[in-house]
Amino acid sequence: MAGMVRPRMTKYIPITLTPKQAIYLNHPSEEGLYGGAAGGGKSDGILAGALQYADIPGYNALILRRNTRLLEQGGALIPRSKAWLQDTDARWNDQKKTWVFPSGATLTFGYLENRDDATNYKGTAWQYISVDELTEIPWEEAYDYLHSRLRKPSDEDDPLHWVPLRMRCTTNPGGPGHEWVKRKFVTEKRPGHVFIPAFLKDNPYLDQVDYEARLNKLHPIIRDQLLHGIWDAVIEGNVFKTEWWKIVPWYTLPKSMRMVRYWDLAATEGKGDFVVGLKMGEADNHYHILDLVRGRLSPEAVEDLIMQTAKKDGIGVRQVIELEPGASSKILANHFRKDVLKGLAYYEDRPPGSKLARSYPAATMVAAGLLDMVEAAWNQVVITESAMFPSKDPKAHDDIVDTISGGYNFLANAGGRSQPDINQATGGSRMDDYTRSDAMPYYSSGGIF
């Protein structure tokens, strides 16, 4: 019934709402979640909702996302708002990330990058709060705190009194907040909460055939989440499927490739985690795992393994060390640069995001047959460990998966990363400056199992 009444519109909303967007904005529930699949018109829906009362004096709307970079990137909500409002009487304050309207109403963009960021809005009053891509937010309590910021005057003669207080959010399944968002809006169906599922077919303004073709190229589980809005399509030990792996003989490999050996240093002597060094090559957008060394070693033995392996690889193979944030990693980097790998092609990588998120691109390439491994004694350990990832078992290992993800992401994306993210410690060369090197016939394990 909510969708049968046309939602309140203002001159600042230049689009015609889809039926599901209209239901979403007109629904009497205080809290609403819209989406569940990609391409359903989520961004237009929450932006329109924020502007429904921009002509009312004192009205304030707030749109949040995990960080401001995600709000400012191409096609995101800040550029979209500028496309809608740049030729109107609204004025943009770039420092405050706020639109100010002649009525005195405002629309502000903010972020929830850390657990305590919700308290940045303490002491403020909003009538409309929206979180775009809610499952990016791991902290349910941060979202719940925002309810305390919804306020309006009690004076019935004040037009603002009649403005509904609303939390309106969007998301797709997946992400660090998947479970609590699913429970709150999808599973429990609490009073005062509404979930409006929307799919690609509900958005007539998008090239549906082209977008669906792009979604079909994703990892199968991510495709189910984004294309079909399946909340139960959760990746748990199912990122790399055993049957996806293709093993090829060494003599079928290209004669020249760009090559890296990616190192995960999380080693414990005797038991626990392994140090892993995985060599990967690329030619014509086809990736090959060429070699693997690993062992549970002391710090001194780790350094010796890296040094000896790097010398055996030769200068044509870039040695990439994954480093964690913090001062200790800078000391470690300096040590490797000056002592362990002095004179060799040494790079540092500080990859963003979670291990799980970093694994998706490589897993998609494995599923597509574009990332394989050369026939060797270590094939089975790669298949077994990757098939178990991610696991809740504290005894399970993900060191090999980290190097597969790191090696692939480094080779595939290095040409587009900024200099601080990928640095050759001895000279600052970018990965796109690589010279192509003949692939050496060194494909035995060479490591400690």
Which amino acid would we find at residue 190? R
Q: What is the pLDDT of residue 425?
A: 31
Domain shared by 360 and 320, yes or no: yes
Domain shared by 192 and 286, yes or no: no
Note whether residue 447 is domain-resident.
no
**Contacts for 428-432: CB closer than 8 Å, 24+ residues apart:** 431/258, 431/318, 431/347
> pLDDT band for position 254 (50/70/90)?
very high
Mean pLDDT lowest for which of 245-249, 388-392, 435-439? Answer: 435-439
Q: pLDDT tens digits, residue range 217-236?
A: 776 777 777 777 778 765 55
Domain shared by 211 and 251, yes or no: no
Note whether residue 395 is domain-resident.
yes
Domain shared by 293 and 424, yes or no: yes
Q: pLDDT tens digits, residue range 19-77?
A: 999 999 999 999 999 987 667 789 999 999 999 999 999 999 999 998 888 899 888 99
* 331: CB partners within 8 A, 6+ apart: none
Domain shared by 252 and 376, yes or no: yes
Domain shared by 45 and 182, yes or no: yes
Q: What is the pLDDT of residue 448?
A: 33
Six-digit token pair at 6?
A: 């046309």
DSSP assignment of 369-384, as one string?
T-EEEES-TTHHHHHH
Of the candidates 150, 65, 157, 77, the residue with the CA atom closest to the CA atom of residue 113: 65
Domain shared by 206 and 249, yes or no: no
Note whether residue 236 is domain-resident.
no
- The boundaries of the domain holding residue 221 are 2-228
CATH number at residue 200: 3.40.50.300
Note whether residue 160 is domain-resident.
yes
The secondary structure of residue 117, as a DSSP letter, is G
Last residue of a domain, one of 203, 228, 253: 228
